[in-house]
């Protein structure tokens, strides 16, 4: 129907319909606009979230080319946004091998392994669709590398195709630095522990090894790895006796000290000090044990005690000698006079015998028959023996410089001369022929001349040779051997007389230089030889004489003589 044909009523209806429609359209338009604003708001919001994240966020396409990054990422990568967008993620990382300075302040070595690891991680990403906490480096524009921790996830379309990825990157410079410091501290502490010249081990409450320093490795021959978790007494058998002390220390939280433990490692006598203290962190976690080898200290202490003992014994002996000499003189002279007045044909003897109505023959005959002559000879022989012993004892009080002069001598010459004397010694031949002993000479040809009293050094060495020969003879050693050694040792000349005889027991070794101490049969030795030697070396020459030995291992006497005479 044409407009003109429409009735007024009809037209009014249509108008109303139009108005309704306009209102509806206006409403729809409003709705659309509101939705548009809402959408814009949401996008801004998400952008805002991404942008304000402190972690660096990068969105890449399915090939790995970066589409979008936030501010934190640009800061992290050390580049501007336009330098990043469109680049492949890998291009931001290190692409060439070499040494790089890190933001942590240390130098980082980037090698093939780094790239291999990166490739492996990328493969993992492809297979799994995500990577969790991957630690790698970005290379900044300024040439420094920055350590990052990355989390990457793939984005998928509704059809399940990869359409891109989101990577969240965290700068871990601070953490790396802390780790480095921690590692340094740990290294430092372990160096402190390892540099200690003591064995330092720790155990847990059950006595199993938790710490094991270098010295412990050295002493036991077991590495920390081998020792860790093992019972301590299994690793160090001598600790079997100490396990109770260790438990007590843990139980009572009190440190324990065990001193001067005598141990025998491969035949070497050692003295050890043991310190056990509880290891307390929050609760008692075990105990720390420190073992100090105090062998040399004990040796020095022993030597000092020895010196002191010898000095007092020496003084006593010398004092006694003085007092004995006079009466001994009377005895010897008396006996000599008696012998002369009976057995010598002095005119006076003949005259007095005659006056007494007898003669010397009768008197002598009586004396012989009643063995009086023999008794007298006994008095004289034994008196002379006593006199010799006293003379030896007097060596103890002889001081340096008194009665003797120390003249430079070649030690090897003195030793050779002494060997000659020993080979011809009649007394020695009776018990053991010195010529059956193999003599090994090991002289230091560069040893300078040593100021000494040649006769007395001869006396000392002869005494050592005789002792060695007697000891080896008594024990019937199959291939007896004496090694004679000279060396220069610091500012000292060192003489060693070593045999392969039966050796000396520890209890005897300690007393070996004491006057009158002897293990020889009665009449074979007076017990003065070594003590006289001791005083000759220590007092007259200001040197030292010591002995190293253990049963079955032979004996080694060591003499040190100063190369320079100390001014008094």
Partner 1 sequence: MISSTIRVLVVDDEEMILINLVAFLEDEGFSVLSTKSGEEALELLASETVDIAIIDIRLPQMDGDTLIIKAHELQPEMKFLVYTGSVNYTLPKTLMNLGISEEQVFKKPLDDIGVLVQAIHQLIDRKE
Residues that bind partner 1 (CB under 8 A): 318, 321-322, 325-334, 336-337, 340-341, 344, 346, 348, 383-384, 387, 391, 394, 397-398, 402-403
Minimum CB distance to partner 1 smaller for 327 or for 551: 327
Minimum CB distance to partner 1 smaller for 327 or for 552: 327
Q: Taking the complex as a whole, how short is the minimal distance between the CB of residue 349 and partner 1, in angstroms?
A: 8
Minimum CB distance to partner 1 smaller for 254 or for 344: 344
Q: Taking the complex as a whole, how short is the minimal distance between the CB of residue 421 and partner 1, in angstroms?
A: 22
Q: CB-side exposure of 450: number of CA atoms within 13 Å?
A: 32
Q: Taking the complex as a whole, how short is the minimal distance between the CB of residue 328 and partner 1, in angstroms?
A: 5
Q: For residue 187, give both structure tokens.
A: 């290294």
Q: Taking the complex as a whole, how short is the minimal distance between the CB of residue 545 and partner 1, in angstroms?
A: 23
* Percentages (nearest 5) of helix, strand, coil residues in the chain: 50, 25, 25
Minimum CB distance to partner 1 smaller for 321 or for 415: 321
Q: Taking the complex as a whole, how short is the minimal distance between the CB of residue 360 and partner 1, in angstroms?
A: 14
Distances, alpha carbon 356 to alpha carbons 136, 298, 352, 444, in Å: 130, 73, 6, 73
Minimum CB distance to partner 1 smaller for 55 or for 395: 395
Minimum CB distance to partner 1 smaller for 156 or for 375: 375
Q: How far apart are CA 354 and CA 363, in angstroms?
A: 11
Residue 284, beta-bridge partner list: 280
Count Cβ atoms below 10 Å from residue 1 Cβ, excluding itself.
7
Q: How far apart are CA 107 and CA 101, in angstroms?
A: 5
What is the phi-psi region of residue 554: left when phi exceeds 0, alpha when psi lies from -120 to 50, beta otherwise? left
Count Cβ atoms below 10 Å from residue 250 Cβ, excluding itself.
23
Minimum CB distance to partner 1 smaller for 332 or for 563: 332
Q: Taking the complex as a whole, how short is the minimal distance between the CB of residue 399 and partner 1, in angstroms?
A: 9
Q: Taking the complex as a whole, how short is the minimal distance between the CB of residue 455 and partner 1, in angstroms?
A: 17
Contact call for residues 293 and 271 (beta carbons, < 8 A):
yes
Q: Taking the complex as a whole, how short is the minimal distance between the CB of residue 347 and partner 1, in angstroms?
A: 9
What is the length of the chain?
Answer: 568
For the range 418-421, what are the long-range contacts, defined as Cβ-Cβ under 8 Å and sequence gap of 24 or more? Answer: 418/458, 418/461, 418/462, 418/465, 419/465, 419/484, 421/458, 421/462
Minimum CB distance to partner 1 smaller for 284 or for 338: 338
Q: Say if strands 481-489 and 450-452 run parallel, antiparallel, or are unpaired.
A: unpaired
Contact call for residues 248 and 258 (beta carbons, < 8 A):
no
Minimum CB distance to partner 1 smaller for 89 or for 335: 335
**Cα angle: 226, vertex 230, 232; to 5 degrees:** 110
CA-nearest of 433, 548, 554 to 503 is 554
Residue holding tokens 């007697």?
Answer: 470
Q: Taking the complex as a whole, how short is the minimal distance between the CB of residue 377 and partner 1, in angstroms?
A: 13
Q: How far apart are CA 83 and CA 460, in angstroms?
A: 93
């Amino acid at each position: 129907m044409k407009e003109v044909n429409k009735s007024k009523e009809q037209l009014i209806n249509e108008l109303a319909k139009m108005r309704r429609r306009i209102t509806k359209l206006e409403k729809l338009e409003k709705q659309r606009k509101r939705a548009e604003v809402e959408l814009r708001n949401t996008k801004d919001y998400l952008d805002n979230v991404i942008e304000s994240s402190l972690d660096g966020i990068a969105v890449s396409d399915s090939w790995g080319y970066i589409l979008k990054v936030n501010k934190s990422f640009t800061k992290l990568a050390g580049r501007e946004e336009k330098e990043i967008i469109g680049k492949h993620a890998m291009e931001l990382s290190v692409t060439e091998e070499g040494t790089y300075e890190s933001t942590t302040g240390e130098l980082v070595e980037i090698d093939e392994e780094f790239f291999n690891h990166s490739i492996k991680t990328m493969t993992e990403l492809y297979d799994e669709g995500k990577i969790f906490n991957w630690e790698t480096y970005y290379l900044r524009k300024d040439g420094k590398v920055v350590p990052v921790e990355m989390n990457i996830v793939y984005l998928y379309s509704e059809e399940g195709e990869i359409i891109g990825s989101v990577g969240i990157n965290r700068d871990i410079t601070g953490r790396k630095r802390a780790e480095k410091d921690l590692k340094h501290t740990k290294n430092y502490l372990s160096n402190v522990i390892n540099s200690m010249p003591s064995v330092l081990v720790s155990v847990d409450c059950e006595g199993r090894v938790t710490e094991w320093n270098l010295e412990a490795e050295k002493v036991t021959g077991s590495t920390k790895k081998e020792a860790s978790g093992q019972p301590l007494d299994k690793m160090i058998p001598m600790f079997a006796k100490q396990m109770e002390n260790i438990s007590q220390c843990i139980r009572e939280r009190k440190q324990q000290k065990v001193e001067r433990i005598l141990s025998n490692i491969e035949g070497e006598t050692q003295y050890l000090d043991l310190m056990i203290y509880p290891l307390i962190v929050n609760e008692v976690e075990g105990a720390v044990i420190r073992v100090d080898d105090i062998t040399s200290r004990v040796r020095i202490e022993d030597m000092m005690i020895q010196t002191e003992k010898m000095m007092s014994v020496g003084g006593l002996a010398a004092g006694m000698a003085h007092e004995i000499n006079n009466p001994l003189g009377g005895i010897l002279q008396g006996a000599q006079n008696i012998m002369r007045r009976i057995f010598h044909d002095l005119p006076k003897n003949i005259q007095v015998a005659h006056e007494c109505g007898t003669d010397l023959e009768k008197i002598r005959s009586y004396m012989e028959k009643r063995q009086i002559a023999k008794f007298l000879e006994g008095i004289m022989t034994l008196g002379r023996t006593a006199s010799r012993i006293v003379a030896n004892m007097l060596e103890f009080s002889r001081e340096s410089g008194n009665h003797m002069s120390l003249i430079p001598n070649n030690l090897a010459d003195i030793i050779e001369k002494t060997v000659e004397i020993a080979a011809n010694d009649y007394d020695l031949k009776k018990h053991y022929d010195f010529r059956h002993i193999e003599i090994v000479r090991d002289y230091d040809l560069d040893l300078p001349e040593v100021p000494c009293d040649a006769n007395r050094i001869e006396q000392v060495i002869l005494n050592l040779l005789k002792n060695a020969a007697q000891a080896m003879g008594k024990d019937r050693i199959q291939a007896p051997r004496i090694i004679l050694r000279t060396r220069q040792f610091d500012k000292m000349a060192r003489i060693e007389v070593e045999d392969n005889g039966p050796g000396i027991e520890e209890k005897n070794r300690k007393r070996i230089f004491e006057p009158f101490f002897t293990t020889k049969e009665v009449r074979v030795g007076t017990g003065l030889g070594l003590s006289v030697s001791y005083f000759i070396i220590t007092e007259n020459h200001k040197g030292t004489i010591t002995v190293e030995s253990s049963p079955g291992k032979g004996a080694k006497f060591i003499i040190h003589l100063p190369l320079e005479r100390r001014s008094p």
